[in-house]
Amino acid sequence: MISEKKEYCGLFGIFGDAEAVQKTYFGLHSLQHRGQESAGIATSDGKIIHCYTGMGTVRRVFRAGRDIYDKLPGRTAVGHVRYSTTGASRPVNSQPLLAEYSQGQVAVAHNGNLVNAARLRDEYEAYGSIFKTTSDTEIITHLLAKPTHVSNPDPLAHVLNHLQGAYSLLFLFADRIEAARDPFGIRPLCIGQISAEHGGQRGAYVVASETCALDAVRAKFIREIEPGEIVRLDEKGVSSRFFVTPGTVTPAHCVFEHVYFAKQNSTIFGENVHQFRKKLGGQLASEHPVDADVVIPVPDSGTSAAIGYAERSGIPFDMGLVRSHYVGRTFISPDQKLRELEVKLKLAVVNEVVAGKRIVVVDDSIVRGTTTRGKIRTLRTAGAKEVHMRVSCPPIRFPCFYGIDFPTKEELLANNRDLKQIRQFLEVDSVGYMSLEGMLSCAVLPPDHYCTACWSGKYRIPVSVAVNKFTMERYQMNMFDEVDTD
């Protein structure tokens, strides 16, 4: 699916490598699919933390190459790519977020959404705290700096116990990295090691949102960081502690990571993403068979599921839609006509594959449905005889408060529409969505180990006040910031 739901953030950290900043660049590059609005790297030379952030893709922000690298000395680094899920897209909200407090400097990189950030911020502002960003992440630095927290035997664990919501976090202190994952393990986070042979003196350690970033720097996957765990990387090596008692919380991994967000070559929540999506496609073919001539994916995230559908159904797979990777995000898509033009730029039809054929179109998900309908119309114009829509997840009916920027509930196609109305809206001959049970049957972990709230409406972490991207945008900011993507 294209442009209806947004990626959120990617994290990368490395400890003990002479090429820490260069490897962080490559790691972030491989995580670019998780956010293109801003990018940043903070490094530590052992005494001082240096930080550089900017708007746009990793390549754009660090285009000056060595000039910027020279300003980021040190053998330890954390990096971040961002799509804003709380806080507008502005330079001040770029991460890592650098702060100074009584214990020194800290740079924080966050993936997820804190559902209690607005309430915590209200409390701190009531006592006079001044916030310089509108991101939920900044509250964490204020919590760290609070004198009663600083005096705790384990201030970081103590602070994490104040947070509610989804968070994978990297903290860069002058002498170490601390990597933490929320007790539900909603967002992925893993650890690996670069062997000395590949430039890691004594075997540098790496932490990243997805294993594709470990591959990018030739680090060997060690394991996922556990929900509720803090992993510390310092001169002594790796150490671990838990801020919630292990086994007391049932995980709630985001299935959407598997369905859409994560990269196909990554392994998250114990399973390779491509293989999981292929299984989804096979299950989809079993649940919603149809007589057709060809199976085509909506690339790229629908491709693995379409392969699985074609394999199970015996219908040939082909590329009827081709994605252009050279079209960046358009500056703004204010109305439907421009959005449809944007989709046309990104997805082109291979007329020879679709003309005169009965087509099964496989996509990972449908959010608003307007872009899908635009594509269906293009396929019809190219001569498709029948179009059967197959979707490798259930109908999305509820918003996500844990870090995915869906449109409002009212804008969701499946909100208040039955299957017949959805079929009519999409202008297809038939439509079939994966069942929730079918989707979870494809996963390696037990069904209750996943968050399914956007399909089921069952939120594992209670949300008292609806959180959205602009929750913290309290004042009209009369400023324009360049959002420069390439």
- The residues binding ligand SF4 (CB under 6 A) are 186, 254-256, 400, 402, 404, 451-454
**261 vs 317, which CB is nearer to ligand SF4?**
261
Of the residues 9, 51, 190, 451, only one is catalytic, namely 9
Rounded least distance, CB 67 to ligand SF4, Å: 39
Alpha carbon distance, N-terminus to C-terminus of the chain: 19
Contact assessment for residue 21 and residue 66, using Cβ atoms and an 8 Å cutoff:
no
Complex with ligand SF4: residue 255 or 384, whichever CB lies closer: 255
* Residue 22, amino acid: Q
Residue with Cβ nearer ligand SF4 (143 or 453): 453
Least Cα distance to 257 among 372, 402, 412, 468 occurs for 402
Give the integer Cα–Cα distance in Å for 160 and 156. 6
Residue 252 CB, shortest distance to ligand SF4, in Å, is: 7
Nearest to 56 by CA among 87, 41, 77, 35: 35
Residues 6+ apart with CB under 8 A from 180: 156, 160, 167, 168, 169, 171, 225, 229, 230, 231, 243
Q: What are phi and psi of 358, to 5 degrees?
A: -95, 120
Least gap, CB of 459 to ligand SF4 (angstroms): 7
Q: Rounded distance, CA 81 to CA 54, Å?
A: 10
CB 279 within 8 A of CB 369: no
Of 28 and 367, CB closest to ligand SF4: 367
Question: What is the C-alpha separation between 298 and 4, in angstroms, rounded?
Answer: 13
**Per-residue CA distances from 279 to 182, 369, 413 (Å):** 28, 24, 25
User: Is the alpha carbon torsion for 301, 302, 305, 306 positive or negative?
Assistant: negative
Query: Cβ 403 to ligand SF4, closest distance in Å?
Result: 6
Is 9 one of the catalytic residues?
yes
Give dist(CA 228, CA 252) in Å, integer. 12
The DSSP element (H or E) to which 298 belongs, if any, is none
Cis check for the bond before 300: say yes or no (omega within 30 of 0).
yes
For the annotated catalytic residues, the residue numbers are: 9
